[in-house]
Structure 1
Amino acid sequence: MIRRLLLGYLTLAALVLLSLEIPLGYVYSRAERERIITAAEDEAESVAAFASLSITAGREGRLRRRVTHCAERIGGTVLIVGARGQVLATSRPLSAEQQRNAAARPELTAALNGHDAFEVRTSTIGGVRNLSVAAPIGHGDRPQGAVWLTVPTDAVEGRVHRVWLILALAGSAILVAVAVAALVFARWTSRPIRELERAAHRLADGERATPAPATCGPPEVRSLAVTFNQTAARLEHLLTSQRAFAAEASHQLKTPLAALRLRLDNLEPDVSGHARDSLTAAMTETDRLARMVEGLLDMARLEEGAVVPEPVDIDQVCTQRLLTWAPLFEREDARLVLIGGRVGHALAAPGAVEQILDNLLSNALRAIPAGGTVTLVPRLSASDRRHLHLPGHQTQPSWVEVHVIDEGPGMTAEQRRRAFDRFWRAPDAPKGGTGLGLSLVQRLAHVSGGEATLTAAPGGGLDAAVRLRPVTRTGAGRPARIGLGRKPADAESSARGSA
């Protein structure tokens, strides 16, 4: 931000200086040129008037001293010629060839013909730029002669160059002053914004929010800091309240439910006949309420703060889930199989993959008929086949996917769209669900940087999949950081807590 402000101030200052100094330099250069031309014309007119009087009086001898004095004063050369072009006087000795060349110059010829009162030209004589001025002597169609002056322009050009240099130095000094002032102002303006940015980053990272300074900087920034501090304080209060609820609800809700379930168990030996069905229904609803409370607490804990995904060995997690859930499937006269090759590591929140698979396997177990099969398929995303293969480079897959495919009745497209909503259950769903399992699966996938999807299985049933980002591999194909989530939960408790 400081660089952008500084660049903006300097650009604006440079444009203002250029719009002022360039016209000023051109005006000065033109004024200097006009001044030297006017001075040369005045000298030529003065010498022409003196020469006219001297020629009329027959005193041409006085012309030599006058042209010498004039040449010394202007620092140039003065030449007087007669009506026929003969040299009458010169400020420095000239050879016969130089006299003929001088008399043949265009401006001197024009003055002898009386065409112009003055003829001004810029020429280079002897490698030096000179201003040439020719004026006729006398008036009328037949002048008595002509005066020719040459004035070196190096002094004028030197003054013009010095003025341009002074303007450039002054502009540079002004730009430096503007840069210093702009730097001070930019730092004063951006300091509270940087503090506000750091406070926002700390808040986004889940750290304790520290108030941003609201006493320095422009009024708009101070007002923004005050608003941010109020928002951060309110958000921290809400998070604190949510943490307190999650901590207290775990005891305040689970303990009465456990006591209620124990009392219902104690009533079972004393209940008989038609009342036993009501007791069984009450126990089932109590278990369902306990699972619902557990799911809500899990979702509340997920929403407490930011979760940093870690590398998880997907192959190891799938093998552990197979060993844990296979006995439960066998008890329900069903099979759980694991197929597919190794997929390596993926990024996920700690314990998220285990909890996702527990929920999906629990749903699949309730959905399949007796003798059915549920297939657990870890695989790399098919999109990696579309990557460009370069020699010497190992391509990375776009996703690591884990599919749980059952042979149950499946879901319609509308049901699959609504399946991730909280508390939503399909009309023909098996009893015992809470409507929170798939919502928790989607939430766990999102905090891991992935996505959960439901599609129709090719042979009927439902294909529930979760996609996770692969771990970038370094060295000899090993992940940059290896870590596992929490220890797998017991399958029995997982089945009770899923949808």
Structure 2
Amino acid sequence: MRARLMGVLAIVSFVLLAALVIPFLDSVSDTRTQTLQLARNATLDRFAGLAGRAAADGDYSEVRLEASRHQELYSEPVLITDASGRVVVSTGGMTKESPGVGAVAELAARDLPQLTIDTLRPWTSARTLIAAPVGSPQEPAGAVVLAVDAGSAISDVRRSWVVICAAAVAAQLLLLFMASKAARWVIRPVGQLEDAVVELGRSGGWNQPLEASGPPELRRLARSVEVMGATVQRSIDVQRQMVADSSHQLRNPLASLRLRVDALDPGIAGLAHVQHDLERLENVLAGLLKLAAIESRITNGRSEPSTATCLVEAVLQEEIDLWQPTAADITLELQAVEGLVAAVDDHDLGQLIGVLLDNALKYAGPGAHVIVSSTRSPDGLLVQVSDNGPGIPPEDLALATQRFWRGPTKTLGTGLGLAIADQTAVAIGARLELSATVPHGLTATLHLPESPC
């Protein structure tokens, strides 16, 4: 956004400076051209007057002397013709055969003076011809041709143009500097707002107040977003604290109830159902406490990738060995690429893999085959826990990580396993993705950051 704003400001400032500088450059050229033209037209008139008197007296000596002096002072040749077109005065080697001289002299002799000098630019030719008739239209007496040397005037124009263009470049740089400051002043609070809102949406945490800067409208927006973020943060904190407090408060009564139930006579009718429901309630409370702890970790800003590292193959092998005794007739297989090092803590990764294995063993069904694999991808490391069980319908995959969601299965569960796995992945800087296993089953894919070492 800042680059686009700077581009617009740069184009606008360039157009404005061009609109000011170009007329100024033209004005300098026109002024210097008019000054030179007036001076040389006056010189041309003087030579025409002298040539007219010389034609009447038949003596061109005075005109030759003046033409020679002009040649010495200004290095500008002079050519004068009489009524018959014969050259009577010539300096600087100029003749009627010189480029353009004959045509200009002929037009001037017909009372068609050539007095205009083209506007001087830095690239204009330094030599130009002007001519005036001698005598009167009723009694023409020849023509005067002056080869004007505009080199000095062009040098003046060039110097003026360099100064003006240098000033324009300096002004443009100053405007760009001011535009950069203005763009930063405007964009900086927008970037802070974006970072804060992204963090709020990612982790539900609002960690620091926004800096009040920029235009008044953005400052008011920042204050409003800050109030909104603090409100969302308080709401999330209250919700999680309520879950944690409720779970803790229920632990003691449940423990007491467990002791009382275990002390009852096993032969009491319906006792098995009570014990089953009590065990399920204990599992739900344990899951809620674990989920609350993980979400609190995310909110407190500890969801960034850890500086710890772990050998992925070793963690996977340890978890498989841990869960193998409870797998019954379910086959656990490890397909790990050696030497992969993830930028996560080994305990965190082990807990996450354990949750995924627990979910697979519960729902894959008897005789299922569970494969735990690891590989490297362009974006990091991939760890997959795949089973060939009944799986989850494709339309329900997006719901599977929500709290208390349970699929169409008869297996009892808390509905918190995949929710815990998803939040744990966020807490360690990873990402959990669920997909269907071909031809049937569920694949849980972990996208892990790879350690640079």
TM-score (norm. length: structure 2): 0.76
Give the structure 2 partner of residue 375 of structure 1: 369
Contact 1:85 / 1:103 at 8 angstroms: preserved in 2?
no
Cα pair distance change 1:354/1:249, threshold 3 Å? same
Secondary structure class of the residue paired with 1:399: strand
Distance 1:265 1:85 in 2: 140
Give the structure 1 partner of residue 442 of structure 2: 464
Cα pair distance change 1:465/1:312, threshold 3 Å? farther
How far 1:426 sits from its partner (Å)?
5.2
Contact 1:118 / 1:136 at 8 angstroms: preserved in 2?
no
The structure 2 residue matched to 1:153, chosen from 150, 169, 187, is 150
The structure 2 residue matched to 1:251, chosen from 227, 241, 248, is 248
Give the structure 2 partner of residue 106 of structure 1: 102
Give the structure 1 partner of residue 404 of structure 2: 423
For residues 27-42 of structure 1, what are the structure 2 equivalents within 5 Å? 27-42=27-42
Moved more, 50-59 or 248-257: 50-59
Q: Deviations over 1:380-418 (max 9, x none)?
A: 56xx8xx9xxxxxxx999733222445xxx368479656
Secondary structure class of the residue paired with 1:465: strand
Show structure 2 runs of 5+ residues with no match: 119-124
Cα pair distance change 1:58/1:163, threshold 3 Å? same
Moved more, 28-37 or 15-24: 28-37
How far 1:59 sits from its partner (Å)?
5.5
Contact 1:13 / 1:175 at 8 angstroms: preserved in 2?
yes
Q: Which amino acid aligns with 1:352?
A: L
Q: Which amino acid aligns with 2:159?
A: R
For residues 48-63 of structure 1, what are the structure 2 equivalents within 5 Å? 48-58=48-58, 60-63=60-63
Show structure 1 runs of 5+ residues with no match: 123-127, 388-394, 475-479, 481-499
Q: Which amino acid aligns with 1:145?
A: G
1:403 aligned onto 2:400: no
Distance 2:391 2:102 in 1: 106
1:339 aligned onto 2:339: no
1:230 aligned onto 2:227: yes
How far 1:353 sits from its partner (Å)?
0.9
Distance 1:326 1:335 in 2: 10
Give the structure 2 partner of residue 210 of structure 1: 208
Q: Which amino acid aligns with 2:292?
A: A
Contact 1:454 / 1:463 at 8 angstroms: preserved in 2?
yes
Cα pair distance change 1:469/1:415, threshold 3 Å? closer
The structure 1 residue matched to 2:295, chosen from 296, 303, 306, is 303
How far 1:359 sits from its partner (Å)?
2.9
1:437 aligned onto 2:434: no
Q: Deviations over 1:269-288 (max 9, x none)?
A: 5xx5xxx3323222222222
The structure 1 residue matched to 2:279, chosen from 287, 304, 309, is 287
How far 1:17 sits from its partner (Å)?
1.4
Distance 1:285 1:442 in 2: 26
Cα pair distance change 1:14/1:147, threshold 3 Å? same
Contact 1:120 / 1:134 at 8 angstroms: preserved in 2?
no
How far 1:5 sits from its partner (Å)?
5.3
Q: Which amino acid aligns with 1:52?
A: G
Distance 1:11 1:414 in 2: 52
Cα pair distance change 1:263/1:446, threshold 3 Å? same
Cα pair distance change 1:307/1:405, threshold 3 Å? farther
Q: Which amino acid aligns with 1:302?
A: I
How far 1:200 sits from its partner (Å)?
6.1
How far 1:257 sits from its partner (Å)?
1.7
Give the structure 1 partner of residue 257 of structure 2: 260
Distance 1:396 1:4 in 2: 30
The structure 1 residue matched to 2:269, chosen from 277, 293, 296, is 277
Q: Which amino acid aligns with 1:160?
A: V
* Identical counterparts, % of pairs: 26
How far 1:449 sits from its partner (Å)?
1.2
Q: Which amino acid aligns with 1:143?
A: P
Secondary structure class of the residue paired with 1:79: strand
Give the structure 1 partner of residue 122 of structure 2: none
Cα pair distance change 1:221/1:59, threshold 3 Å? same
Give the structure 1 partner of residue 121 of structure 2: none
How far 1:322 sits from its partner (Å)?
4.3
Contact 1:48 / 1:136 at 8 angstroms: preserved in 2?
yes
Distance 1:335 1:172 in 2: 81
Contact 1:111 / 1:117 at 8 angstroms: preserved in 2?
yes
Distance 1:104 1:263 in 2: 126
Q: Which amino acid aligns with 1:437?
A: G
Cα pair distance change 1:133/1:436, threshold 3 Å? closer
Distance 2:35 2:79 in 1: 22
Contact 1:113 / 1:143 at 8 angstroms: preserved in 2?
yes
Q: Deviations over 1:354-395 (max 9, x none)?
A: 12212322344xx43xxxx343322356xx8xx9xxxxxxx9
Cα pair distance change 1:231/1:336, threshold 3 Å? same
Cα pair distance change 1:320/1:144, threshold 3 Å? closer
- When Rg is computed on C-alpha atoms for both structures, the one with the higher figure is 1
Secondary structure class of the residue paired with 2:263: helix
How far 1:262 sits from its partner (Å)?
2.0
How far 1:164 sits from its partner (Å)?
0.6
TM-score (norm. length: structure 1): 0.70
Q: Deviations over 1:25-71 (max 9, x none)?
A: 23432453354345433432343234324433556554345546766
Contact 2:96 / 2:102 at 8 angstroms: preserved in 1?
no
